[in-house]
Amino acid sequence: MVEIPREDELDALIESVLKDEKLLPTPVTLHANVVKRLKLHELREREQLRFRYLMTGFVITVLTIVFGVIFSISFYKWSVMFWYGSDAGWGYWDYCRTSLQTYWVKYQGTYSFLLTLGVAISTLVVLLTPWVKSHKM
């Protein structure tokens, strides 16, 4: 290994070592390879930006769904069913049947709950479809 006393002499040292070397021409494909790598880098950056936007939208959608479900459940009258139950002798079965009938017949926030659930499922399908297709290749 060659000792370099100062950094100022680095250029002179390189010139002296390479002075006897034969100068080789650049390969013909150098420009094409550089352009190809630059395009790949640009595509990679664009894909990272798209991924950030997609994940931001996904997080916003998931948070909207979670808050919608919390909002729907908080206005549903669970306490009435818990404290008063149903008027039948079958006990828990009648309680479940009555609560399902109440769930589908009377509006107590269940439509917004079902709508939120539908939006959640369709959003997950739309967001995960490209991911699933990309892993099948």
Is the model's pLDDT at 58 over the cut of 60? Answer: yes
Tally the domains of the chain. 1
Q: Is residue 108 part of a domain?
A: yes
Residue 91: inside a domain: yes
DSSP assignments along 50-109, one per residue = HHHHHHHHHHHHHHHHHHHHHHHHHHS-HHHHHHH--SSSSTHHHHHHHHHHHHHHS-SS
pLDDT tens digits for 109-124?
Answer: 666 777 788 888 888 8
- The reply to whether 10 falls in a domain is no
Q: Locate tokens 């919608």: which residue?
A: 68
Residue 6 is assigned to a structural domain of this protein: no
Global pTM value: 0.38
